[in-house]
Amino acid sequence: MFERCRYWRWRAASAIGRARRRLRIGCALLILLLVGDAFYVAGLWPDWEVWAEGPVFKSSFIRTYEHQRALHGGPRLRWTPVPLDEISPHLIRSVLIGEDSRFWSHPGFDRAAFEEAMEFNLSRRRLVYGGSTISQQTVKNLFLGPSRNPVRKWHELLLTLGMERALEKRRILEIYLNVAEFGKGVYGVEAASRVYWGVPARDLSRRQAAELAASLPAPRGHNPETRTDFFESRTEKLLRQIREL
């Protein structure tokens, strides 16, 4: 009886010892991952003063497109950045209504929009909308990639917080409108306006502006050239919202 008790005590102690070792190893690995990620983010972290004013530089998405085109061919890059003052107010209004109606008031993240998007996704049983703000989309376009894995979202979170602290809202909007994709090889509102209608972005009509904004969720498949049912429906919805406002 005594020997059996000793045996069970030994087994219990061994199990506790193994659990503690696994916990120590897990904690050590977590610390190593966090340290490694901190170095990665530090290397990724931009000089926000460079982005605070002046010309808008090529985004990560634009450079990736150029690289893929060099390898596989495709339409030439169309991209001509312009100041926010040279963009039609109709377009600015349409993009804000369609993409981020609380842009001027949120700190980079819109919890209400995120919850609405998740409810919609659950109702469709698939990921349709991500609820990202214009600030988040700007960070993703400039510095990251299209992946939706949790690590990329974590980096997006950190960079969005940094950008919102360093840049004015007008500048964030200006950058976004100049790097957003509007079709294969078409980046920025100036290039899109000239490709689809042959006019500068400052001369866009209300409908033309709504059509460009309607293409933003999936610009390669739904744009003023493809004119899909989804595109037409979204355009009319935006025009109704604009009239109501």
| Model confidence pTM above 0.95 | no
In tens, the pLDDT along 149-186 reads 787 788 899 999 999 999 999 999 999 999 999 999 99
Confidence of residue 143 (pLDDT cuts 50, 70, 90): very high
pLDDT of residue 146: 76
In tens, the pLDDT along 108-131 reads 887 766 666 556 555 555 544 556
Question: Could you give the angle at the alpha carbon of 81 between the alpha carbons of 78 and 82, nearest 5°?
Answer: 135
CB atoms within 10 A of CB 241: 15
Helices 229-244/206-214 angle, 10° precision? 130
Separation in Å, CA 92 to CA 5, 25, 76, 80, 134: 77, 52, 26, 17, 12
